[in-house]
A and B are shown apart, each in its own frame.
Chain A
Amino acid sequence: MSVLPFLDWIASSAVAKVINGPEWAFPVVQSFHFLGFAFLIGTIAIVDLRLLGGGMRRQSPAELAKDLKPWTLIGLVLMLTTGPVMFSADPRVYYFNPSFRFKITCLLIAIFYHFTIHRWAIRPQAAPIVGKLAAVVSLALWTAVVAAGRFIAFV
């Protein structure tokens, strides 16, 4: 199955009809998307700032990450469900939008990074410099995801 018929199939799906239905549907779904990434990125930022020495010093980074994990995951799930719903509103436009492509690339890297390298770097036995580097890369990746997302509507 090539991509274009697949995109058109998404555009004609029931989900697309709902998101393209009432005027408030898109902004409401988008608001949930914002809440999702605030949960996701906000909780990751708390761990990253801890790695960089900014706050929550009585807990280890690994402890903090474990404590915040349910909220990070809720954010991730919220973001990954509302995102595709928004995509279905206009699949061809998003698919060919350079900012969207950049965002999705960064997102895939960021998610992969978060569950592999980042998780490894926040272990108590990791060297502090490794944790600091991991935090900077993490913050940069998530910043790129959000910034590129904002640019989708402007390119």
Chain B
Amino acid sequence: MTKANPLLKPKKLDRATLISIVIICLVYVLAFVLEQVMPASSMLFTVLKKGATYALVAVSMNLLNGFTGLFSLGQAGFMLIGAYTYAIFTIPVASRLSVYQYYNGGLIQFSLPVVIAIVLAGVFAAFFAFLIGLPVLRLKSDYLAIATLGFAEIIRAIFQWDKIGFLTNGSNLLRLFPTFNDFNIRNANGDVVLYLSTLVPFVITGVCVAFVMLLINSSFGRAFKAIRDDETAAEAMGINLARHKMLAFCTSSFFAGVGGAMLAMYANSVQAKSFTTAMTYEVLLMVVIGGIGSVTGSVLSSFVFVACSEWWLRFLDQEQVINGWKVPLLRNGFRLVVFSLIIMAVVLFFRQGIMGSKELPDLFRKRHKLAGKGGAKS
């Protein structure tokens, strides 16, 4: 008496999925309500906005590294393309002369609506990924890693080249484009009547992550996992390796590009210099902490990662005096040392990360004790 394979059963919304959906909705409502009642300068919102941005990038990286088994380190490069695309197309025409002050206002003399620019950011990143993927995806594991890392560096160099400064503004900042704060609805006096600056990144990330989830649970997703587990076997089963790898690579880059656009909106300015390899490494560490192969884990760990590095561990950077005893070691930069040691501990001893390869609904399925530990999944 074997149980029917759950994969073959027609999909039904079971209890666990419903609970997950309710939790996710609650998180959104909470984010919306908190933003209306708490002061906008609170550190919480910085963390939530940046966390949502990185959550998307981490999920996009997980799609590639965790689900398809392609160890790519080009995420920062695709974020850069996304961020620049968004910025270039949304700077208001009136501000172009002051932004492109060394290039006579630049080449492009129109600006697109934000939503279109975000989509374009993803499309451009995916297009570049397609071009890069043609030669690079033939490479295996660590060679692929180093080649994609190399491409990210090349992209960074090209965007700083002053010969194409009319587009990219050379090595100067791009700024004055719409940011998250511009989503707040203001009245005639300029006072904010409805805060949306946190909800908007949550919504963008939510839509994108939902799409990734659908992709992973589709036949494409199963093909990705088959490629990850055994390339030769997958090929023997009739999976077109080149096509599926390319699809995963381009999809991942699309969302990395959207994430880049969100990072631009978060940071208020874009400069190619800041999209370093270290940025890719940070995203990779988020994926590892969350659990390679778990979208929920990536999202959770992005928020935790950002919260730790921006907020919760801040106290380690200041000198503390407890009952007249000066705590040793605490000074600028100590936070990062502690943080990296924690990461090393996770990498070495908790290789499963927060979630392993489980998703949010899985928490409510087998053991009910775990229920209530759901947490934020945007």
The yes or no verdict on A and B being binding partners is no
B interface residues, Cβ below 8 angstroms from A: none
Could you list which residues of chain A lie within 8 angstroms of chain B, going by C-beta atoms? none
